[in-house]
Amino acid sequence: MAPSSKSLRVLIPSDTGQRFSCQSCTQCCRNLVVDLTDRDRKQIEAGGWKRRLDVDPYVRLGGKWVLNKDEQGRCVFLSDAGRCRIHEQQGFDAKPLACRLFPFTLSPVGHSVRAGWRFDCPTVARSQGKPMDADEDALGVLARELLGGRGRAKVEIQLKTGLPAQSAETGHLVGILDRWLRDGQRSPTDRLRGAIWLTSTLQDAQLEAVREERFVELVELLVAALPAELSANVPSTPTSRQLRMLRQLAFAHTGHVSFAEMQAGWGRSLACRWTQLCFSRRFRNGRGPVPSVIGNNGGEADFADVDRVQPDNGQADRLNECVLRYLRGKLQTRTCFGPAYYGWAVLDGLSVLWLSVAVIGWWARYFAAIRQTEAFGLEDLVRALGVVDAGAGRIPILGSSAERLRLRFLQANQGIASLVERYSLWPSR
Ligand code: SF4
């Protein structure tokens, strides 16, 4: 269907197999801090919500206006029956823009916008509902509201740090990696190992002298060499330093400051920082009980318990499908590099994406361990994807120079391949 004059053209990759229709689980109403636009606040004022709720419907937080929350961290508009009061009484269009958009994301590309989706919505992680492009028209209208009716000027994306990418280069690399990841003739382990090897080989190459058609030829040559490289380069066991870095990265993904902490005065906020520092040390040491860093997680486990957990062989197909859909979605929507990922260069963003598989693998094992089982399945993976994707591209520390240093260290020592193999998301061959 052609977009209406009130919408912008939205680019939505349609062949990742991703589906979504909201299941009203209310997880976003509990977990998100919702920024408000001026229009959102006017709408809430016009609805007389302060009087109806008997509490401030929105508050000032970190220099922004956001929806207020109750003591349990739930949106003040969430009723006891688990429904949004604005939606129920004034309709979907009266809700704040961020609520109408979630779990989609929109990034300007010239005069269009590119859609992405967030795996901290469990329905996205489980891929339930309609194909993603079924929402194209509705997203076009939201895109117009978000961007004021126009795409923005071209955003420069770098191939490597300091080296601007030609759009054909990025498109070709994304296309080749996507083709490699969906090649059902190869095991998921080989597909991921191949993607890691290709990315690190390009990272090491002198790309300044290999541009445009020559870059495309180089990528094709490397892909042709991949099968031989995979047999010759089996990842080694990760070193204790690499394992320590992985645990620290797993902890960094939980670095959301809660709504209550953001509202607390400086004294409480100092106490929170001290607690975070202690937790960070415990993740680095990797001994004893894992600190409870993600709220009410439903159990306890030691670091050693987490390391004993393996993927559930009986759920291998479902685990494979979910992780490959996650990786291909991130790749095709280009939310793993450039403006959607702290402005990082394509090859750095890709390295982080492959490394995120090990982080997801660590959290999936943790969720199985707190259930006191030694095999993780799809629901543990869904929770792990939620932890990792809630933070990626959003928590400031993950885009910091310290994270770049961590990445450089792991890139230089084949640490990414070793960690991804150690915390594999599927049973080994
Ligand atoms: S988390 Fe996803 S499925 Fe649940 S209410 Fe929010 S958008 Fe709907």
Every domain of the chain and the residues it spans: 10-147, 158-232, 240-290+300-422
Look at residues 57, 26, 25, 28 and name the one whose alpha carbon lies nearest to residue 40: 57
pLDDT at 415: 96
| Mutation test residue for ligand 1: of 101, 117, 121, 128, the one with most atoms within 8 Å of CB | 121
Atom of ligand 1 nearest to the CA of 103: 7
Atom of ligand 1 nearest to the CA of 26: 5
- 420 dihedral zone (left: phi>0; alpha: psi -120 to 50; beta): alpha
Cβ 21 under 6 angstroms from ligand 1:
no
pLDDT at 255: 73
Cβ 26 under 6 angstroms from ligand 1:
yes
Cβ 123 under 6 angstroms from ligand 1:
yes
| Mutation test residue for ligand 1: of 86, 123, 382, the one with most atoms within 8 Å of CB | 123
CA of 135 to the centre of ligand 1 (A): 15
Range with lowest mean pLDDT among 122-136, 137-151, 161-175: 137-151
pLDDT at 148: 74
| Mutation test residue for ligand 1: of 19, 27, 83, the one with most atoms within 8 Å of CB | 27
> Tens of pLDDT along 336-368?
999 899 999 999 999 999 999 999 999 999 999
CA of 130 to the centre of ligand 1 (A): 14
pLDDT at 5: 52
Map residue 8 onto helix, strand or coil.
coil
Q: Does position 67 have pLDDT exceeding 60, yes or no?
A: yes
pLDDT at 429: 53
C-beta neighbour count of 303 within 10 angstroms: 19
| pLDDT over 90 percentage in the chain | 76
Q: Does position 153 have pLDDT exceeding 70, yes or no?
A: no
Please state at what angle helix 213-232 crosses helix 167-181, rounded to 10 degrees.
30
Q: Does position 75 have pLDDT exceeding 80, yes or no?
A: yes
**Mean pLDDT of the 355-384 span:** 96
Between CA 29 and CA 13 the distance in angstroms is 27
Atom of ligand 1 nearest to the CA of 102: 7
Q: Which two tokens stand for residue 69?
A: 């929350």
Instruction: Output 270 or 187, whichever has higher pLDDT.
Output: 187
Q: What is the mean pLDDT of the chain?
A: 91
Instruction: Output 272 or 285, whichever has higher pLDDT.
Output: 285
- 84 dihedral zone (left: phi>0; alpha: psi -120 to 50; beta): beta
Q: Does position 2 have pLDDT exceeding 60, yes or no?
A: no
Q: Does position 279 have pLDDT exceeding 60, yes or no?
A: yes
> Tens of pLDDT along 327-338?
999 999 999 999
Q: 294 pLDDT band (50/70/90 cuts)?
A: confident
Q: Any idea which residue has 């993927």 for tokens?
A: 311
Q: Does position 3 have pLDDT exceeding 50, yes or no?
A: no
Residue 177 host element (H or E): helix 167-181
**Mean pLDDT of the 50-61 span:** 94
Q: 1 pLDDT band (50/70/90 cuts)?
A: very low
Q: Does position 395 have pLDDT exceeding 70, yes or no?
A: yes
Q: 412 pLDDT band (50/70/90 cuts)?
A: confident
Q: Does position 264 have pLDDT exceeding 90, yes or no?
A: no
Cβ 19 under 6 angstroms from ligand 1:
no
**Mean pLDDT of the 21-48 span:** 95
Q: Does position 133 have pLDDT exceeding 60, yes or no?
A: yes
Instruction: Output 420 or 270, whichever has higher pLDDT.
Output: 420
- Is residue 426 within 8 Å of 188, Cβ to Cβ? yes
CA of 25 to the centre of ligand 1 (A): 5
Map residue 58 onto helix, strand or coil.
strand
Q: Does position 100 have pLDDT exceeding 80, yes or no?
A: yes
Q: How far is CA 267 from CA 36, 63, 261, 262, in A?
A: 27, 19, 11, 12
| Mutation test residue for ligand 1: of 18, 19, 23, the one with most atoms within 8 Å of CB | 23
How many CA atoms are closer than 13 Å to the CA of 150, on its beta-carbon side? 3
Cβ 24 under 6 angstroms from ligand 1:
yes
Cis, bond preceding 103 (omega within 30 deg of 0) = yes
